[in-house]
Amino acid sequence: MFESKEVFERLLFLSFGPSVKLKQARLVSAGNINQGVFLETSDGQFFLKTNFEESEDIFEKEADGLNTMRAHCPLKIPEVYHFGREESYNFILMEWIDAEKATSTYWQELGLGLAQMHMATQNDFGYKSSNYIASIPQQNQPNHSWSDFFVRSRLDPLIGRAYYEGLVDLDFLKKFQKIYPLLEDFFPKEKPSLLHGDLWSGNIMRGKSGIPVLIDPAVYFGHREMDLAFSRMFGPFEEEFYEAYDTFFPLEPGFKDRVPVYNLYPLLVHLLLFGKSYLPGIEKTISKLLS
């Protein structure tokens, strides 16, 4: 895929017509799901992301998420120029972000920007359509109750899939489902917030002049603590981020105690994507809840 200059030229033609010519292409990332390519053209620089997932709308949903965040978030969000499917692969063509050294206020700006985005709300938890977190389908059926949404649209579909794929046995499936009644009054009562949905260090960047940039969303309207809990899963962001967020949009007491429960969802996502090495973290949280 990467070595095919003709592919890149065809995608540029589909996006901009014949006026934009390819000068060079360079592979910049190659993960488990997506390949990222830097394109230098006669009309500037672009970022091309491709994959071979069967889901033909995966980048349509990503583009929608980026556009939704841009409408409600003061932080930098990359522009989307085109997306679709060609032959056997999906693609999305976006603005190229030059990474620069973070400013001294980078983490504060990120915390304040996220807090402002979280103030965007709607009547129900969920979203206008289902989408994806990484390559995992993400259900977003509207629900008035956060705890019910968290169980029905986040936990239960993924633990069920994990059982179907042989990643957990029937005994653990039943044990996992025993926590559902315990979650009914577990979370603070708050309005739905617009979430990034996949907020970890790999999905934030330092853009021009070191400003924060949000990429790769899995948006929906959920409990805002979901984003903040996710940010702590693979090593927390700098403390200035959390302090700035809390000064603008204070959290209810006990947030850190709720973090492992929120993170059952991203742990289940990683269990499905990468295997049983993520199961012990899930087991630990379930056992603590049931003890």
Tell me the pLDDT band of 32, cut-offs 50, 70 and 90: confident
Q: Is the pLDDT of residue 102 over 90?
A: no
Tell me the pLDDT band of 17, cut-offs 50, 70 and 90: very high
Cα 67 from chain centroid (whole Å): 14
Helix axes 170-177 and 279-290, enclosed angle (nearest 10) = 50
Tens of pLDDT, residue by residue over 127-168, are 999 999 999 999 999 999 999 999 999 999 999 999 999 999
Long-range contacts of range 181-189, CB-CB < 8 Å, 24 or more positions apart?
A: 182/289, 182/290, 183/147, 183/150, 183/151, 183/261, 184/147, 184/148, 185/147, 186/147, 186/258, 186/261, 187/146, 187/147, 187/150, 187/223, 187/225, 187/258, 188/223, 188/225, 188/252, 189/146
Place of tokens 């929906």: 220
C-alpha span between 139 and 137 (Å, rounded): 7
4-18, 41-55, 153-167, 233-247 — most confident range: 153-167
C-alpha span between 35 and 15 (Å, rounded): 19
C-alpha span between 232 and 266 (Å, rounded): 11
C-alpha span between 198 and 203 (Å, rounded): 7
Nearest to 52 by CA among 125, 118, 135: 135
Q: Is the pLDDT of residue 247 over 80?
A: yes
Tens of pLDDT, residue by residue over 103-120, are 889 999 999 999 999 999
CB 188 within 8 A of CB 157: no
Q: Is 124 an annotated catalytic residue?
A: no
Q: Is the pLDDT of residue 2 over 60?
A: no
C-alpha span between 180 and 155 (Å, rounded): 9
The catalytic position among 198, 216, 227, 257 is 198
C-alpha span between 263 and 58 (Å, rounded): 23
Q: Return the CATH class of domain 106-290.
A: alpha beta
3-state secondary structure 90-140: EEEEEECCCCCCCCCCHHHHHHHHHHHHHCCCCCCEECCCCEEECCEEECC
5-95, CATH topology level: Phosphorylase Kinase; domain 1 (3.30.200)
- Tokens describing residue 243: 């302090």
Tell me the pLDDT band of 3, cut-offs 50, 70 and 90: low
Ordered by start, the domain boundaries in the chain are 5-95, 106-290
The H or E element that residue 47 is part of is: strand 44-51
Average pLDDT over residues 210-215: 93
Q: Do the domains 5-95 and 106-290 sit in the same CATH topology, yes or no?
A: no
Q: Is the pLDDT of residue 186 over 60?
A: yes
Q: Per mean pLDDT, which range of 49-53, 224-228, 271-275 is the poorest? A: 49-53
C-alpha span between 213 and 286 (Å, rounded): 34
CB 155 within 8 A of CB 259: no
Q: Is the pLDDT of residue 30 over 90?
A: no
